[in-house]
Structure 1
């Protein structure tokens, strides 16, 4: 299990950024871990994030809605949320 997380972190974050120091590495890994646990969908969890498994499904929006994008790690990772 840990090997899978480390592989995901490497493929999605650290392999694409020039790490300049140990402090920089810690910041990148912490931000990726927050993204991984708070926002990133997981197939094994029914497309929910690990910290959202017990949460109820958000209500469906009828009609047009806006999508907000938040860039992480200098635009390397994008998080999207729907705004009614």
Structure 2
């Protein structure tokens, strides 16, 4: 039965999602009937039957994820420098993009362009960048 197959092949789908997918396929069935079928076969009709943890999500999506942030260092003279680093989750490779005493949005955007070109040349499949809400991470960087 298609309802059971959809439930087994898509464990994160609840009865409402299954009902919606069936409707998209042109199969007319009441949402309550989907619920009854799942219940009759001992399948919990809610998406909580297999909760995905954050660690599992990151492991499954590692090839598409990058994360970046600044960290601060002090030189021997006491000067404060800011380093922009990126980690590729799939390989756990850390890239130091740049170092400056005065980071700006324009500087970060240029480093983002450079990173995008490097990743493209390396054939990386990263599509998403995890970052905080620092004002230096501009909308232009998000577009890149």
Q: Shorter-chain-normalised TM-score: which range? A: under 0.3
Q: Which has the larger radius of gyration?
A: 2
TM-score by length of 1: 0.26
Greater relative contact order (CA < 8 Å, ≥ 6 in sequence): 1
TM-score by length of 2: 0.17
Compare the two structures and name the one with the higher strand fraction.
Answer: 2
